[in-house]
Amino acid sequence: MMMICGNKFWGGLGFLILFLTISIISPVSLGSLKVGYYKYSCPSAEAIIRKQVDKALARNPGLGAGIIRMHFHDCFVRGCDASVLLDSTPGRRSEKEHPANNPSLRGFEVIDAAKAELESACPRKVSCADILAFAARDSAYKLGAGINYAVPSGRLDGRVSIEDEVTQNLPPPFFNAPQLVQNFARKGLSTDEMVTLSGAHSIGISHCSSFSNRIYNFNSTHPVDPSMDPNFARQLRRRCPSIINARNDPTVPLDFLSPNKLDNKYYSLLNIKRGLLTSDQTLATSPSTASMVKSNAKNGALWVNKFANAMIKMGSIDVLTGNNGEIRKNCRIVN
């Protein structure tokens, strides 16, 4: 899932795919957000953002996972208001300083580059929150198997970012399925949407500290978590030391099959006990989610469609509009 993962604390068949692709990119509207919001005020906005994303991912595909995760971490704390992009100020540490975000979130420089070009082309027209939503979509498109969708926009930027609020809102890697269901429900997302968005863990990396408890001294009876394939555990122990500290906390791919491709192989791995985090593997063992994992593993085209729709819905969480926010000139500081 697109949660805390990079540190301690996603003939007939051809017609079906074509139909799903069309349904994904059809114009939609979510509340005060709408597709084509910048059609007149900054018609080149989406093209500028996609150019910066494409350029960055051509150099380093791993940035795509960081940008998608950044969008998730932003939306789950104070809503999709770009609060995760704000730097700390004297006396107040921002969200990006939390161990869940630093150093696991990557791609801030991509957002900065897009914002700088937009400010030159259309001064004070495009919010940082919208830039992040577009960049997440563009990253999914670049790395995904046919993932594309129209992004409703019109979000404004928030003015507050507080480190401690991250823990209160983001699910940690040790959550079980019922806890994940409850966490996502608080944000207005269904169980199926939670399982669907978890597929973002088919890209990106995790620090060993996020799952070391599963491969070393799990409990008095089992040295390894019994929900993990023993061969996979041995493979991980070759990469991860038994004693981890800030100077010795290696990273491994969340998905060993296709680490730089956003696809449904993540669910296939869960079905053979090769989910990396507790919060991954629990989806295949919990009665409330196991059938969804099997369905997503079996039907990649269906998962693509559901993932696009879930990203759109997630991107509408507690958005700021009207007089409730601003359009930052610099995404790292308030105006």
What are the structure tokens assigned to 90, written together?
Answer: 């004297």
For every residue of 101-146, DSSP letters joined together read: TTTT---HHHHHHHHHHHHHHSTTTS-HHHHHHHHHHHHHHHHBSS
Query: What are the two backbone dihedrals, phi and then psi, of residue 314, each rounded to the nearest 5 degrees?
Result: -60, -35
CA angle in degrees (0–180, nearest 5) for 143-65-16: 35
Residue 96 maps to a domain: yes
How many separate domains does the chain show? Answer: 1
Average pLDDT over residues 50-60: 96
What are the structure tokens assigned to 31, written together?
Answer: 């509340």
Closest CA to 127 of 140, 142, 111: 111
Q: What is the total residue count of the chain?
A: 335
Residue 36 maps to a domain: yes
Residue 193 maps to a domain: yes
CB neighbour burial string for 107-135, b if at least 16 within 10 angstroms, e if fewer: bbebbbbbbebbbeebeebbbbbbbbbbb
Catalytic residue among 71, 73, 98, 207: 73
Q: Tell me what the pLDDT averaged over the chain comes to.
A: 90
Residue 179 maps to a domain: yes
pLDDT on residue 31: 61
Residue 324 maps to a domain: no
The pLDDT tens digits of the residues spanning 147-199 come to 999 999 999 999 999 999 999 999 999 999 999 999 999 999 999 999 999 99
Query: What are the two backbone dihedrals, phi and then psi, of residue 175, each rounded to the nearest 5 degrees?
Result: -65, 145
What are the structure tokens assigned to 192, written together?
Answer: 């199926």
Helices (H), 147-299: 164-169, 177-185, 191-197, 212-215, 230-239, 265-271, 278-285, 290-298
Q: Residue 144: beta bridge partners?
A: 262
- Residue 217 vs residue 39, higher pLDDT: 39
Rounded distance between C-alpha atoms, residue 61 and residue 187, angstroms: 29
**Does residue 73 have an active-site annotation?**
yes
Closest CA to 38 of 180, 133, 104, 108: 133
The pLDDT tens digits of the residues spanning 257-286 come to 888 899 999 999 999 999 999 999 999 999
Residue 323 maps to a domain: no
Residue 144 binned pLDDT confidence (cut-offs 50, 70, 90): confident
* pTM over cut 0.75: yes
Q: What is the CATH number of the domain that holds 104?
A: 1.10.420.10
Domain that holds residue 235: 12-314
Residue 3 maps to a domain: no
pLDDT on residue 30: 60
With a CB cutoff of 8 Å and minimum separation 6, the contacts of 305 are 20, 23, 24
Q: What Rg, from alpha-carbon coordinates, does the chain have? A: 19
Residue 2 maps to a domain: no
